[in-house]
Amino acid sequence: MKELLAPAKLTWFLEVTGVREDGLHTLRSEMVSLDFSDRLIIEEPGDYLRLTPASIRVGVDETNLVAKALNLVGRKAGVTIDKVIPTGGGLGGGSSDAGAILRWVGGVSSELAATLGGDVPFCQLGGRAMVEGIGEVLTPLKFEKRDVTLIIPNFSVDTKACYKAFDELGELGEGRNHLERAARIVEPRLARTMNWLSAELGKEVHLAGSGSTMFVEGHLEPGESVWDVQGPAGTIRFRQTSTTPQEA
């Protein structure tokens, strides 16, 4: 039996640099690992996939990224995933789990990892890196300890719809996150929540990737780790965390 950690990832900034002939967008972004993780328990021999807590709404069939990662490398194992990373929030929960599986088997090329999803190559690497192409071009960067406060609303943003809205805007993108304007259009609750947070906190609120997770730099409440507040579109969870280096 083997225990693996699958750290959450945060997209520190995101630039859309183009669109390939196959319709996939090319990006340039900085990604960092965070110090809270899903936990995977691997059992061999075995052939099952379980999630805890049972209330987590994530498929445990062949569509799960862990199952796809095992299939990619031709391995079978029993896997129990203890979910901590919120689902559908843009923190790479599924990709982080897949990356942990790839590290467990000794790793694969970034190009092969990218066939599972654009975040998987970075999640296999971890730490801090410049990520380009469709996620397969990685340039490791020196680790920097950064404190951040994640802001996780009770809704998600559809990534495909966000990129479609970006294309329909017909512009190259601007600011720290080129997808923010499109994400606000796709999910009006995000726009209301970001505006409200900026006014309440007096700080610049950033969108992580296509969302729906947002973040501010630094810790807002010394001594606290997780707390909830009521925002304009429902409950918002604040989680204070920090960046973490690549696993040794």
Q: How far is CA 174 from CA 14, 17, 177, in A?
A: 10, 11, 7
Active-site positions? 9, 119
**CA angle, 5 then 7 then 8, to 5°:** 150
Classify burial at 228, counting beta carbons within 10 Å of its beta carbon; exposed 0-12, middle 13-18, buried 19 or more: exposed
Preceding omega of 232 cis (within 30 degrees of 0): no
Kindly report the backbone phi and psi dihedral angles of residue 220, in degrees, each rounded to the nearest multiple of 5, phi listed first: -85, -35
Q: Report the residue count for the chain.
A: 248
Tokens, residue 155? 């809704």
Look at the block and give the residue holding tokens 């990534």. 159
